[in-house]
């Protein structure tokens, strides 16, 4: 079990390094991440490399039993590089070339940038390939975000991307529907960059987002190829950003040994960390493997101003939530709060003064506990019977053409994920290309883009005994973002046993009461006007113009069952009731039902099963648990209930 901190020896006098390493060792830390922003330190002038300072830092750390993950330092180019080769900088939507001075502001289509990136990666990998203190690499830092470039090189690369994707201009014109507004292309050179996703062709906007994502994947891939060749003993990972929407993480993860991610769930008032749980499940799903936390909340976060501090016990609870969801290594960001630069208020375990404090001691407690748990955790992960499809194409197209006001793809996923969280049910987040047959239940929120092949795979999954839950705006468009010329839900109509001849928005947050099995709940934002064919009506609308239509349906197909939800429920209780019924159909039960605000997650494997309980509230909580089991953090034996202090955690060995 690796536990540690992100460390920046270049920020501090060399005379301080030994004390830092000694304090880390005393806390039980055994790993640091280093160097991801140190390109200018490694290459102070073009082609002149200096690794001596990092060699000395690694030597100090090694004397205290601390090993290192090195970052390829390409997230911030040196000032000399941007000055001498200005073409490496991003051109923004207005056509203005960005001024050097931030981070992640370089163009991945630039041949100059790629050449220098490969050169520094090669130099680092060559120097540290056999270093005993180095165990792995992190590529770059947090791909995606601010480097969406519109320079001539990106336009040419986009045109090449489209040539490879569509082959001919005729096929591109068909796929984009360029007959609308007379936007037909007669030459590849006529294809522009996309600067206005609110006004330009929706199919072009989708392909631009795909292109941007693929540029990140390619840029990383060039570094990975070098690292694989020169450092075959080292693992390679990248610190993803959870639910960040700009890069397809399933694609980015392909070249990695495992993914890592940066977890900062503490901002406003204390609350249940639903989003951190969803992000962790997505990170585990990116490769169907356990993951690492490469940056984790260590104190108040902020750039211009800082948010609240972690409360006593909260830092530990944040860490245990990720351990429960499959984290096999955790690193706090950062060791010591910086006195200079943009992140002066992004606090580490230590304050600016560098002295041991409450957060340091709490992190040390976590490290001690993790090392005690490590033998039992090896080979364990979340073994889920439920999967939820996360489709980046549907996410992207609904960002720039949302169908109805208030529609948010990620919020739709959260509604179901949170209901499963409250029910004590673990799940996997999977891509549309994954194998559905591994799961008893597949939840497919708003699969807006529905290529025919995906529809057929979902239908086959139901026929073979699976339970599917689909909902609003399913199968609206094809794989190129053109609207299907079929009655909704298109090719899934037979499997779902419904037709949707019309639909409507509920403007101004209006609500309509539901009937039958969901009486007492209300529909909001949107309504599908569902006509059941073979499906049974589970709920209808209590509105005079909708009395002939269903709101929620359930259909038997061969060995399986398909649910369709044609609206948005107005409360979490709606989704709790829905998920309870769907889980019953799928034959899935929770090991226990936690009280509100308590999370229950099971990691299993190797003949062992550990139940993690995390109290996200500031009240003591009593949790029903199996009797006669060992609680591993205290060494006690469970009775019928277990009490968790505020922000308390427990780990119960079920078998």
Q: Where are the alpha helices (DSSP H) in 63-151?
A: 79-84, 111-128
Q: Cα separation of 119 and 243, whole Å?
A: 32
State yes or no: pLDDT of 509 exceeds 90: no
Q: Cα separation of 216 and 107, whole Å?
A: 10
pLDDT of residue 146: 78
Residues 19 and 127 reside in one and the same domain: yes
Residues 508 and 638 reside in one and the same domain: no
Range of the domain at 420: 386-586
Look at residues 545, 563, 586 and tell me which one is the last residue of a structural domain. Answer: 586
DSSP string across 568-604: EESSHHHHHHHHHHHHHHHT---S--PPTTEEEEEEE
Residues 12 and 125 reside in one and the same domain: yes
pLDDT of residue 452: 98
Is 70 a domain residue? Answer: yes
Is 162 a domain residue? Answer: no
State yes or no: pLDDT of 91 exceeds 90: yes
Cα-Cα-Cα-Cα dihedral sign, residues 249, 307, 3, 414: negative
Residues 269 and 331 reside in one and the same domain: yes
Q: For tokens 């922000």, what's the residue?
A: 647
Q: Cα separation of 655 and 653, whole Å?
A: 6
User: DSSP secondary-structure letter at 82?
Assistant: H
Q: How confident is the model at residue 84 (pLDDT cuts 50, 70, 90)?
A: very high
Q: Mind listing the pLDDT tens digit for each residue in 149-158?
A: 999 999 999 9
- Percent of the chain surpassing pLDDT 90: 99
State yes or no: pLDDT of 145 exceeds 90: no
Q: Mind listing the pLDDT tens digit for each residue in 458-486?
A: 999 999 999 999 999 999 999 999 999 99
pLDDT of residue 9: 98
Look at residues 586, 616, 640 and tell me which one is the last residue of a structural domain. Answer: 586
pLDDT of residue 249: 98
The H or E element spanning position 623 is strand 621-624
Residues 552 and 499 reside in one and the same domain: yes
Give the residue-averaged pLDDT of 18-44.
Answer: 98
Is 343 a domain residue? Answer: yes
Q: Cα separation of 488 and 502, whole Å?
A: 9
| Average pLDDT score over the chain | 97
Instruction: Let me know: does 337 contact 346? Beta carbons within 8 Å.
Output: yes
Is 85 a domain residue? Answer: no
Q: Cα separation of 70 and 54, whole Å?
A: 10
Instruction: Let me know: does 179 contact 374? Beta carbons within 8 Å.
Output: no
Q: Mind listing the pLDDT tens digit for each residue in 545-561?
A: 999 999 999 999 999 99
Tell me the backbone φ, ψ of residue 526, rounded to 5 degrees. -155, 150
Is 19 a domain residue? Answer: yes
CATH number assigned to the domain comprising residue 648: 2.60.40.1180
Burial of 445 (0-12, 13-18, 19+ CB in 10 A): buried
The residues annotated with a catalytic role in the active site are: 142, 295
* 496: three-class secondary structure by DSSP: helix
Is 531 a domain residue? Answer: yes
Look at residues 346, 377, 408 and tell me which one is the last residue of a structural domain. Answer: 377
- What is the dihedral angle through the alpha carbons of 395, 396, 401, 404, rounded to the nearest 10 degrees? 10
State yes or no: cis peptide before 647, omega within 30 of 0.
no
- Residues written for the chain: 655
Residue 504 vs residues 118, 256, 349, 450, 501: alpha-carbon distances, Å: 53, 44, 51, 21, 11
Residues 253 and 361 reside in one and the same domain: yes
Is 99 a domain residue? Answer: no
User: DSSP secondary-structure letter at 475?
Assistant: T
User: DSSP secondary-structure letter at 45?
Assistant: B
Residues 443 and 467 reside in one and the same domain: yes
Q: Cα separation of 61 and 35, whole Å?
A: 14
Residues 581 and 452 reside in one and the same domain: yes
CATH number assigned to the domain comprising residue 365: 3.20.20.80
Residues 610 and 566 reside in one and the same domain: no
| Chain-centre distance for alpha carbon 377 | 23
Residues 268 and 319 reside in one and the same domain: yes
Q: Mind listing the pLDDT tens digit for each residue in 321-363?
A: 999 999 999 999 999 999 999 999 999 999 999 999 999 999 9
Residues 283 and 406 reside in one and the same domain: no
Burial of 89 (0-12, 13-18, 19+ CB in 10 A): buried
Write the CB contacts of 439 (distance below 8 Å, at least 6 apart in sequence).
384, 385, 386, 387, 428, 466
- The number of domains in the chain is 3
CATH number assigned to the domain comprising residue 393: 3.40.50.880
Q: Whole-prediction pTM value?
A: 0.97
| Chain-centre distance for alpha carbon 266 | 17
Write the CB contacts of 614 (distance below 8 Å, at least 6 apart in sequence).
317, 320, 321, 324, 598, 599, 601, 649
Closest to 197 measured CA to CA, from 400, 380, 35, 387: 400
Q: Mind listing the pLDDT tens digit for each residue in 587-614?
A: 999 999 999 999 999 999 999 999 999 9
Residue 524 vs residues 344, 417, 501, 540: alpha-carbon distances, Å: 43, 19, 19, 13
Give the residue-averaged pLDDT of 265-288.
Answer: 96
Tell me the backbone φ, ψ of residue 418, rounded to 5 degrees. -65, -35
Residues 369 and 390 reside in one and the same domain: no
Closest to 475 measured CA to CA, from 465, 463, 488: 488
Is 314 a domain residue? Answer: yes
Instruction: Let me know: does 276 contact 265? Beta carbons within 8 Å.
Output: yes
Q: Cα separation of 286 and 460, whole Å?
A: 24
Residue 37 vs residues 76, 92, 528: alpha-carbon distances, Å: 6, 23, 50
Q: For tokens 């037909």, what's the residue?
A: 184
Measured from the Cβ of residue 569, the count of other Cβ atoms closer than 10 Å reads: 24
């Amino acid at each position: 079990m690796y536990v540690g901190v992100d460390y920046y020896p270049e920020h501090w006098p060399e005379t301080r390094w030994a004390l830092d390493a000694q304090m880390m060792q005393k806390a039980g830390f055994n790993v640091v991440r280093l160097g991801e922003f140190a390109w200018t330190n490694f290459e102070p002038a073009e082609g002149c490399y200096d690794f001596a300072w990092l060699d000395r830092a690694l030597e100090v750390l090694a004397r205290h039993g601390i090993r290192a993950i090195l970052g390829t330092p390409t997230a911030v180019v040196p000032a000399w590089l941007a000055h001498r080769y200005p073409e490496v900088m991003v051109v923004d939507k207005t056509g203005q070339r960005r001024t050097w001075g931030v981070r992640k502001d370089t163009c991945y289509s630039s041949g100059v940038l790629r050449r220098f990136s490969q050169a520094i990666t090669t130099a680092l990998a060559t120097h540290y390939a056999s270093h005993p203190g180095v165990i792995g690499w992190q590529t770059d830092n947090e791909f995606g975000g601010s480097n969406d470039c519109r320079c001539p090189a990106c336009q040419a690369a986009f045109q090449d991307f489209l040539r490879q994707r569509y082959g001919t201009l005729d096929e591109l014109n068909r796929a984009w529907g360029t007959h609308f507004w007379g936007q037909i292309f007669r030459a590849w050179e006529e294809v522009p960059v996309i600067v206005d996703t609110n006004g330009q062709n929706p199919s072009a906007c989708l392909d631009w987002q795909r292109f941007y994502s693929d540029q990140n994947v390619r840029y990383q891939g060039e570094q990975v190829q070098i690292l694989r060749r020169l450092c075959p003993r080292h693992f390679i990972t990248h610190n993803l950003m959870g639910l960040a929407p700009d890069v397809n993480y399933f694609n980015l993860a392909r070249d990695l040994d495992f993914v890592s991610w940066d977890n900062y769930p503490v901002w406003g008032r204390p609350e249940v960390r639903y989003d951190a749980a969803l992000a962790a499940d997505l990170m585990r799903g990116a490769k169907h493997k356990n993951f690492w936390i490469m940056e984790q909340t260590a104190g108040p976060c902020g750039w211009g101003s800082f948010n609240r501090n972690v409360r006593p016990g909260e830092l530990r609870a944040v860490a245990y939530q990720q351990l429960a969801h499959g984290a096999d290594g955790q690193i706090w960001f950062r060791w010591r709060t910086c006195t200079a630069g943009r992140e002066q208020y992004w606090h580490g375990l230590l304050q600016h003064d560098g002295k041991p404090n409450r957060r340091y001691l709490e992190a040390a407690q976590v490290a001690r506990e993790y090392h005690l748990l490590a033998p039992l955790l090896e080979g364990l992960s979340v073994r889920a019977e439920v999967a939820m499809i996360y489709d980046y194409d549907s996410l992207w197209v609904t960002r720039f053409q949302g169908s109805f006001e208030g529609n948010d793809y990620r919020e739709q996923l959260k509604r179901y994920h949170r209901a499963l969280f409250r029910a004590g049910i673990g799940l996997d987040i999977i891509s549309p290309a994954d194998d559905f047959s591994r799961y008893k239940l597949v939840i497919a929120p708003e699969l807006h883009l529905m290529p025919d092949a995906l529809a057929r795979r979902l239908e086959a999954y139901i026929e073979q005994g699976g339970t599917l839950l689909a909902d609003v705006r399913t199968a609206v468009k094809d794989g190129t973002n053109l609207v299907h010329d079929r009655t909704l839900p298109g090719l899934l109509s037979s499997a779902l046993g419904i037709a949707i001849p019309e639909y409507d928005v509920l403007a101004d947050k209006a609500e309509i009461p539901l009937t039958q099995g969901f009486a007492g709940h209300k529909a909001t934002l949107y309504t599908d006007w569902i006509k059941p064919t073979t499906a049974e009506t589970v709920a209808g609308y209590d509105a005079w113009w909708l009395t002939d239509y269903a709101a929620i349906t359930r259909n038997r197909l061969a060995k399986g069952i398909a649910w369709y939800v044609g609206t948005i429920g107005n409360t979490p209780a709606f989704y709790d009731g829905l998920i309870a019924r769907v889980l019953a159909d799928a034959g899935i039960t929770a090991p226990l039902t936690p009280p509100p605000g308590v999370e229950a997650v099971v990691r299993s494997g190797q003949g062992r099963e550990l139940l993690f309980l995390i109290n996200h509230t500031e009240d003591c909580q009593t949790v029903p648990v199996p009797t006669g089991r060992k609680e591993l953090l205290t060494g006690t034996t469970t009775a019928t209930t277990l009490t968790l202090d505020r922000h308390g955690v427990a780990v119960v060995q079920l078998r």
